[in-house]
Structure 1
Amino acid sequence: MAASDFKPSPFLEPGAAASIGSLAILHLKRDQLIPVVLKSTADDGYAEGAVTNTRFGSFPHSTLKDVPWGTQVRASKVDTGSRGRGGAKRKIDDTEPKEAIQAGTGFVHLLPPTPESWTISLPHRTQVVYTPDASYILQRLQVRPGQTIIEAGAGSGSFTHASARAVFNGYPSQASSEPSLKKRRYGRVCSFEYHEPRAIGLQDEVRAHGLNDLVRVTHRDVYTDGFLLDEQDPKDKSPKADAIFLDLPAPWMALKNLTRQRLPARTAKIVANSASSDSADINAPSETETPSEEPTEPFISPLNPNVPVHLCTFSPCIEQVTATVAALRRLGWTEIQMVEVMQKRIDVRRERVGLHEEGLRGVNATAATVDEAVNRLREVEGRFKEWHEAVKEADVVAEANGQPKPR
């Protein structure tokens, strides 16, 4: 890729404002975000050019480009009259969009794409790993810039984007243009997906989001084929992973491929069957076992040989957990822990508080400060004092006129 053609990922370097051709997030409300690729020309027949329609109004892309991130953008009135036009007139209108007219109501906030906002707005191909889980997993895996992480079961790509940001330490394709005395290690995410359409969809998203320098998507069954990369040079086959995340239905079946040395065939078989043979002796001979030929090619480990490797599996059922823990123990993994992450959302609401707001609808009519409470008490005491003095004066006047005291 030529230096002039290189475009940084909007997830990593979004810039100060939205630009044509980049991904932007339209924030309608807290749990409703819309991803939009800004376009300069119309593709749906609006006179104003490309338009995104939402429940809060229509937003021509001409009103979104070059707008600083975080800006509140008002909806616009759009002219749909050009939808039925054809021929040369239609082509002229497409190249010369009309200026958008601001509507009276409706707005969105324009946000840069982040792994958090993408998790909420992405097209769901599978269940996703949400931000509370992803942040905790990356912290426990001790993922740092410049490291390599293996992800198996990529699915919709939520954790893929979070991992790419965590390991980002520059773009490898731009390495030649960066003078450096010390060799720089660039972060990588080696993502594996068994379902081919999902793998293709994720690869397209990675390319569109400018992350193809950091993320490598491979269509493979890691249970049987392992985690090595499809490279011609044997030296480049190993990812040399510093961290591993397995979001698989049966993660124990993939653990036999995450070792530093080749496992005997009997050991690999017992580990793969951990769910049904939890108490099996790894050294006990099997009566039904048939001798198998050992592979002749040299063993290549997918793990980094120079540092301790951290591994996390993501399982919803306790039966999966027990089978995975059994396999981990047999393979020599240490410091095994099970953690359940519970998220609790706390709503923060704006509320008008104060005694001066008393009588208004939806207002908390209590003292906002101690001084306001003291002043209100003094005001109440002053009113009582005035009332008692008025009663006393009325009694004196009545007594002077020979009239009964008013009560």
Structure 2
Amino acid sequence: MLAIDPEKKLSFTRRISDGDLVIIYERHDSMKAVRVCDGSVLQNRFGVFKHSDWIGKPFGTKVFSNKGGFIYLLAPTPELWTLVLSHRTQILYIADISFVIMYLEIVPGCVVLESGTGSGSLTTSLARAVAPKGHVYTFDFHEQRAASARGDLEKTGLSSLVTVGVRDIQGEGFPDEFAGMVDSVFLDLPQPWLAIPSAGKMLKDDGILCSFSPCIEQVQRACETLRSNFTDIRTFEILLRAYEVREGTMEGCKGDDGVSIGALPRKRRQRSSEGSNVQEFQRSSIAMARPCAEAKGHTGYLTFARLKCS
């Protein structure tokens, strides 16, 4: 479990204890979060796993079931939490999250405002980025979603770095107490242009704002509003293409001169190549790569802008 010591230093080194949150890894597309409870068991297609066997082991351990199947016990990092959390709303994934943190120039000690919280996918990564001395203040207009986000932050050990508030940022703006004190602002709202004037008041000179929108029409209207008080306005679309790499078999052959003529199409393997008669077939195992059949494609547009110095 991601732990915070008295000095607020994040640690993934301690061993699993009763009550910890663990990410159960079966394969790259099959993971889930489980609360360790001495006396409980996990049952899946690989067999029965006793929680008591997990206690005292370091994160990353490979454990076996009664049938000889195995799983890995992983720490709930923000990256893994994004893949297993409950989707209360549409979430940001790793490609967008990493880009946001870099372009918002978020480093340890920063103060960040976020609206809306949603499922908290970005929030957990923001918390780790500002640790150990910074803080994230995130707002959602929906009371139940905010309460669920607080519970998730408790599970992942990040609650001391994040304050979750209930507020309609589009209608009310950010609380005045943050005026001129914030390094970065992130907006994930249906009408971000309504919150941009308030966000500008919260930022320090040269502070950066990011707005996430699924539709280009939202981007256009947000940019119109940004022009009055912001500069260096840029919009990006992150398209991630994953590849599947696996072992495969390639058939090749040699000519009568002993020189390999490489892999041939199946229908040509009995023919000659440049006058050489094919005498020997060879099979070899190689690593084959191809794009994954399922791709997430478009998630949304990320618009960044820097507050003009007063």
Query: How high is the TM-score relative to the length of structure 2?
Result: 0.76
Which of 1 and 2 has higher RCO (CA within 8 Å, sep 6+)?
A: 2
* 1:319 aligned residue (217, 235, 242): 217
Determine the structure 1 residue equivalent to 2:140: 193
Per the alignment, in what secondary structure is the counterpart of residue 151 of structure 1? strand
Amino acid of the structure 2 residue aligned with 1:212: S
Q: Structure 1 residue 23: deviation in Å? A: 1.3
Moved more, 153-162 or 105-114: 105-114
Q: How does 1:164-175 map to 2 (within 5 A)?
A: 164-168=127-131, 170=132
- Aligned pair in 2 of structure 1 residues 60, 244: CA closer, same or farther (>3 Å)? same
Q: 1:339 aligns with which of 212, 236, 251?
A: 236
**Which structure has the highest strand share of the two?**
2
What TM-score do the two structures reach when normalised by structure 1? 0.59
Could you tell me how far apart the structure 1 residues matched to 2:9 and 2:83 are? 14
Same amino acid, percent of matched pairs = 38
**Does residue 244 of structure 1 match 2:185?**
yes
- The structure where helix makes up a greater share of residues is 1
Q: CA RMSD of the aligned region, Å?
A: 3.0
Deviation at 1:207? 2.4
CA–CA separation in structure 1 for the residues paired with 2:119 and 2:225: 27
Distance 1:71 1:336 in 2: 46
Q: Give, in angstroms, the shift of residue 55 of structure 1.
A: 3.2
Q: Which residue of 1 aligns with 2:19?
A: 21
Alignment-derived partner of residue 115 in structure 1: 78
Q: 1:255: which partner in 2? A: 196
Correspondence for 1:50 among 15, 40, 44: 40
**Corresponding residue number in structure 2 for 1:65:** 55
Query: Are the equivalent residues in 1 in contact too, given 2:200–2:229 (CA < 8 A)?
Result: no
Quickly say closer, same or farther: Cα 1:165–1:366, change in 2 above 3 A: farther
Confirm or deny: 8 A CA contact 2:48 2:67 kept in the other structure: no
Give 5+ residue unaligned stretches, structure 2: 261-278, 280-310
Structure 1 Cα separation of the partners of residues 114 and 194 of structure 2: 15
SS class of match (1:39): coil
Contact 2:116–2:189 at 8 Å: present in 1 too? yes
CA contact (8 A) 1:148 1:239 kept: no
Query: Displacement, 1:203?
Result: 1.1
2:245 to 344, 348, 357: 348
Larger Rg, first or second structure (1 or 2): 1
How far apart, in 2, do the equivalents of 1:139 and 1:195 lie? 28
Whether the 8 Å contact between 1:11 and 1:115 is mirrored in structure 2 is: no
Alignment of 1:377 with 2:234, yes or no, is no
Paired with 2:258 and 2:57, the residues of 1 have a C-alpha distance of 51
- How far apart are residue 324 of structure 1 and its match? 0.4
| Offset, 1:240 | 1.6
Per-residue CA deviation, residues 122-144 of structure 1 (Å, 9 max, x unaligned), is 11111110000000011111111
Q: Is this contact kept in 1: 2:115–2:188, CA < 8 A?
A: yes
**1:261-272 aligned within 5 A:** none
**Match of residue 158 from structure 2:** 211
